[in-house]
Structure 1
Amino acid sequence: MGSGVVFLMFTCFSMAGSEIHTLEYIYTALSKPVEVPGVYEFTAMGILDNEQIDYYNSKEKTKIPRQTWMSQRLDGNYWDKGTSSRKSKEQWFKVNVEILMNRMNHSKGGLHVLQWRHGCQGEPQPDGTLAFRDGFDQYSYDGGDFLSFDPKHLQWVAPVSQARATKRKWDDSQTLNQYTEGYLKRECMDWLTKFMGYGEKGLKNQPAPGVYPHAKTTKTPGKVILHCLVTGLHTRDVEVDIYRNDDNMTEADGVTSTGIRPSEFSADGTMAKTYQLKKSIEILKSDLDIYRYKVTYRGDVTAAGKWEAPKLEGGHAAIICGVLLVVFIIILGIVAVLFRKKISENCISVLRSFGSKDTVTTDGSSNPTDTEMEKQNLTNGEPNGISVPEAEKLKSANGHADV
């Protein structure tokens, strides 16, 4: 079940990792279907502090949870009502995207996008509650701002002329504007507080993320790459900082990042259970000691430290082993030459002592001189005058070479 694609066209977004918490809902409607995987004619999603918590699209037509704690804490009635609400909004968008196309003098054959984003921001208080900080209710058409609500003055703002007719109509209904204000300041804040509580309880029993700093040699002599990988993240609220002395390194200084990516999904593949993030930088090996890392997860420093010097990489180890093997083979060759030379000297000595006594019978049988030769070649039980301990040394040497 795909997560769909969101066309982010608004000028205001929640800030990740800040003390301000945000609950928002984004609805996206296309003027016609497109043959692109994961892109639907209508999608809707709830987002809590940049984490998707629920999802709906025009294909499955079911509101589903995107966080484990959402599925655990909210019953079937909540999801049934949510599905009905999303279906109604899908029909509303289908009608209104056509109205705007006509108002903009756009042909029906083209692809156009209408989006609605609304939500609230809360600021933590000393007593643990969340106080309303701001609310937003915005519409965009084809990527441009179309209409937005001003909660302070209880009126709509029309940045383009085509939106003025809608502004007048909605401003004439103070009941509508008061309802919008009430939703942003009260109902939305109630859900934000509730969802934050659910999420916090769900995260309390989760293990701390794993932090894996690693230094690796490069093909460039005198340089190393520093990696800091953080895994097992249950939210996206994480920062990995790399410092050179007291200076926080950025992309301009050569820091690269994988971005926060899902690393583990639920059994049905619809929810990301954990995330991971890796940042890296290439430096001079001589500067290794002045670099350090810091990992901040959900506002707390989880890990901080320095990198250890890179261990011997496989390529360098193979070269060293190869050189040692060549040296060993050369030594073994020298031993073999000396061994053969000693055998030759013993054979010559035997032949000289045997030459005057050598006789051959007509039937090919051995005579006494053959026995004398055998005795001379078998000194201490081993051929060619090599003692048993010496032979064992040669066997041991060959055995070591095989290993």
Structure 2
Amino acid sequence: MKLFLLFFFCRDLFAAKHSLKHVATGSSGVANISEFLSEMVFDGIQAGYCDSRNKILEPRQDWVKKILDDNPQQLKSLTVQCFVTLPNLFRAWIFGLQQQFNQPGGIHILQSISGCEWNESTGEMINFLRYAYNGEDFLEFDMKTLRWIALKPEAVITKQRWDTDENRIKYTVEFLSRTCPMWLKMSLESGKRSLQRTVLPSVSLLQKTPSSPVSCHATGFYPQRAAMFWRKDGEEIHDGVDPGEILPNNDGTFQMCVDLNVSSVRTEDWSRYDCVFQLSDGDDIITKLDKKVIRTNCGKIIPVIENPSDRMISIIAAVVVPVLLILFAVVGFAVYKKRKGRNSSSPLPGNTAELLEKLKQDPHV
């Protein structure tokens, strides 16, 4: 399955695609966090942020600020949505779902991810809207039929009610087919200089133990359209290779890694392998598989003793386990599965991670 997904991803890897996503999180039963948080994500970068309780509505990129400065009416509309309309809607939806499922108390979370993806080469625009309740996919809107799809049996009642709500459908279609594409293209135009830049990564080889895979890790690159793979004798290989996801860094750049199982690779054959990083419109960065340059978690390089009898010397890894997975285990909420096909998702958005962190720290949870 991973190989299939990798093939599907690489096929359109360097297509000129841009996406705009709005991720909203409403919560109930948690006293110390805002009941409504949302963010706008453009091409994997957080562009705007909303916190209804603390009255925060701010652009996170200079080019978004420019859009709002040039369009004060847009800022006024977003302010009403952030502080009034969406918090009230999410509060009502959560209350309704609690009644439907006979859940009088406790912590409840309702999330939505909506947006559009534009293929600049073909002009194709794909729209999407999905809801999740308490960490499980719940409802999805079908732009072809203009009807809701129940993603679990418990959602059928809500689907039937929403299918007859013409105002809701009209608003949804308006947002997905007009508002979202408008903002996407405004963002692309306003942020052209920043968004069309190219930043090459630093690439390192990391390994946890002598028997664990060697991870080729690239960080600090931009844009997100990148690929990384292992080769043997100049030919790309798939056996023993575990590709990772592209994840965002705090500075707006990205990171990714791809693992190679070296347990069956003889010492004398290491030189036949190399890791290749490809960035759109850029030259390949090639890193030879070399024991002498494998990094540890303290940033040092461990000297390699070439005597085969000493091959079991431990090498401590610098491979970082995504913090969000740990938070999932702590709070028990799995938020948004990976979107398949047309709506492939970015990593868990920043405002959701903040929510889960606050849930973890809340003494009442």
Q: Same fold (TM over 0.5)?
A: yes
* Number of the residue aligned with 1:274: 253
Residue 160 to residue 280, structure 1, CA distance change in 2 (3 Å): closer
Q: Deviations over 1:125-160 (max 9, x none)?
A: 35xxx332x322232322334333222122233455
* Number of the residue aligned with 1:300: 281
Whichever residue aligns with residue 116 of structure 1, its letter is S
Partners of 1:47 and 1:154 in 2: how far apart? 25
Q: Is 1:92 aligned with 2:80?
A: no
- Is 1:230–1:277's contact at 8 Å kept on the other side of the alignment? yes
Equivalenced residue count is 281
Partners of 2:209 and 2:108 in 1: how far apart? 50
Residue 214 to residue 306, structure 1, CA distance change in 2 (3 Å): same
* Number of the residue aligned with 1:48: 42
* Number of the residue aligned with 2:240: 253
Whichever residue aligns with residue 240 of structure 2, its letter is D
Residue 259 to residue 207, structure 1, CA distance change in 2 (3 Å): closer
Whichever residue aligns with residue 200 of structure 2, its letter is P
Which residue among 197, 218, 221 is the counterpart of 1:233? 221
- Show the 5 A alignment for 1:2-401: 17=13, 19=15, 20-33=17-30, 40-75=34-69, 77=72, 78-88=74-84, 89-108=86-105, 110-125=106-121, 130-132=123-125, 134-159=126-151, 163-204=155-196, 206=197, 208-212=199-203, 228-245=216-233, 248-249=236-237, 253=240, 260=247, 262=249, 272-279=251-258, 281=260, 282=262, 284-297=266-279, 299-307=280-288
Partners of 2:215 and 2:153 in 1: how far apart? 52
* Number of the residue aligned with 2:321: none
- Is 2:139–2:155's contact at 8 Å kept on the other side of the alignment? yes
Larger radius of gyration: 1
* Cα shift at 1:97: 0.8
Classify the secondary structure of the residue corresponding to 1:63.
Answer: strand
Classify the secondary structure of the residue corresponding to 1:300.
Answer: coil
Segments of 5+ residues of structure 2 without an aligned counterpart are: 1-8, 294-300, 306-365
Residue 171 to residue 246, structure 1, CA distance change in 2 (3 Å): same
Whichever residue aligns with residue 240 of structure 1, its letter is M
* Cα shift at 1:59: 4.2
- Is 2:292–2:303's contact at 8 Å kept on the other side of the alignment? no
Residue 245 to residue 144, structure 1, CA distance change in 2 (3 Å): same
* Cα shift at 1:102: 0.7
Partners of 2:153 and 2:259 in 1: how far apart? 48
Identity rate, percent: 22
Q: Deviations over 1:207-238 (max 9, x none)?
A: 5314446699x996xx9996645343234333
* Cα shift at 1:161: 6.1
* Cα shift at 1:106: 1.0
Q: Deviations over 1:254-296 (max 9, x none)?
A: 658696352xx5xxxxxx2434445564554422332122222
* Number of the residue aligned with 1:390: none
* Cα shift at 1:64: 2.2
Classify the secondary structure of the residue corresponding to 2:288.
Answer: coil
Superposed CA RMSD: 3.9
* Number of the residue aligned with 1:386: none
Structure 1 length-normalised TM: 0.57
Partners of 1:177 and 1:219 in 2: how far apart? 54
Q: Deviations over 1:338-361 (max 9, x none)?
A: xxxxxxxxxxxxxxxxxxxxxxxx
Classify the secondary structure of the residue corresponding to 1:136.
Answer: strand
Whichever residue aligns with residue 24 of structure 1, its letter is K
* Number of the residue aligned with 1:333: none
- Is 2:26–2:111's contact at 8 Å kept on the other side of the alignment? yes
Residue 301 to residue 245, structure 1, CA distance change in 2 (3 Å): farther
- Is 1:26–1:118's contact at 8 Å kept on the other side of the alignment? yes
Higher relative contact order (CA 8 A, sep 6+): 2
- Is 1:213–1:226's contact at 8 Å kept on the other side of the alignment? no
- Is 1:240–1:294's contact at 8 Å kept on the other side of the alignment? yes
